[in-house]
Amino acid sequence: MKIAVAGTGYVGLVTGVCLASKGHHVTCVDVNEEKIELLKQGKSPIYEADLEELMAAHKERLIYTTDYKEAYSDAEVIFIGVGTPEKSDGSANLNYVYAVAKEIAYAVQRDCVVAVKSTVPIGTNDKVESLIRGHLRQPVLIDVVSNPEFLAQGSAVRDTLQASRIVIGADSGRALEIMKAVYKDFEAPIVTADRNSAEMIKYASNDFLAVKISYVNEIANLCEIVGADIKKVTEGMGLDPRIGNRFLNAGIGYGGSCFPKDTRALHWLANMNDYELKIVKAAIEVNEQQKLKLVKQLRRNIDTLAGRTIAVLGLTFKPGTDDLREAPSLVNIPLLLEDGAVIHAYDPVSCQAFADYLEKYQIPGRETIVYCQTPKAALTDADACLILTEWPQIKSLTGQDYIKSMRTPLVFDGRNCYDPVQFRNAGIAYYPIGYGL
């Protein structure tokens, strides 16, 4: 089929490339000329496993352009995969979605289906369809469907090609059959629903996982108080098939482009309808506090941070991605700088992006940060260490690496990378999440 995809971020680009790998002819559209030029050279603007390889393998069925008129004019299906960033009140900014909808209305020359992949509030698909039909330049039939994505950064290609489910929210039988044809070579169960239900499936899924993470972090914090072992607790929990073992890793909270934004958006939507999602609200509050856990522990163990060298291992919100959005590093490092600490930072992919962020927002003390090429270099002569991301390069360090490199082997591990018994027996003051001392 001839398909167009609006947006070349995580959702749009991964969707387009994966559809091309299934034999469709895909045109990826973006207003950012630099990104399009990069894509034409076979380079991905995002750090994502297997994506560039898939782009190269199916380049004969992929076109990258800024010309939306050419892309949309005769497409059979147009996917909207642009961003829906958060507004200051917690609601989703739908300006980019609506802008694409108008472009589609101006450009289409044939009957087609518009599939909204962007995460949008319930009822948005109805508005998109009304907007397109109200601005059409040609007498064509346009149906809008909700087709939310369920990909995770770092495994986005796998999550798309080996999806747990494909959700299609359609109020038209014709549109539903076309969407089924798009996905005919995907081996995943298809869930069909009305558009509002499909939109809610996305939010309900993400918010449930966020709640699960915050719940485990609460249990981990209590484990520290009562002397329990969170890994043993979650092992016992995870064997219950009603609970499952995924998203039971205690740490310093969730981040990224989805969970923080989607929990706040659904909470906002409920409030706008005079209803409060108390569990989601609690998950948001717990997560914000959890991000500060290591700094609080550090301050309790060192009388003053002024002039002290603090190693920070990991800047991205999770390994396998270069995404800094809602990462704990964005909260913790400014606090450390405010306390007068000297930062030795390490991340395998995002040091420059982090430096650019600090420069953009004029974070005081940013000029004192030393960006290191290896974890051991960051640890050299450090008075303490904060582990914020569980990159393999960090998990592969041994207790002796910390002892030999650091001035004081004081380690606050926000991702539980090591065996606490081994590290403490080696003479390291080791503070993971969820272990009583």
Between CA 157 and CA 428 the distance in angstroms is 39
CB environment 97-135: b (16+ within 10 A), e (fewer): bbebbebbbbbbeeebbbbbbbbbbbebbebbbebbeee
Neighbour-count burial of 421, counting CB atoms closer than 10 A to its CB (0-12 exposed, 13-18 middle, 19+ buried): exposed
Paired tokens of 194 = 């009305």
Please give the distance of CA 401 from its chain centroid, rounded to a whole number: 31
Distance CA(163)–CA(215), nearest Å, equals 26
Phi, psi dihedral angles at 424 (to 5 degrees): -70, -35
If one counts every other C-beta atom within 10 angstroms of the C-beta of residue 408, the result is 18
Q: Exactly one of 18, 28, 223, 258 is catalytic; which is it?
A: 258
Does the annotation mark 258 as catalytic? yes
The number of CA neighbours under 13 Å toward the Cβ of 1 is 21
Amino acid residing at 256: G
Structure tokens at 228: 């329990």
Whole-angstrom Cα distance, residue 160 to residue 290?
Answer: 30
C-alpha gyration radius of the chain: 23
Q: Please state, in angstroms and rounded to a whole number, the distance separating the CA atoms of residues 29 and 104.
A: 12
C-alpha to C-alpha distance for 238 and 215, rounded to whole angstroms: 14
Catalytic residues: 258
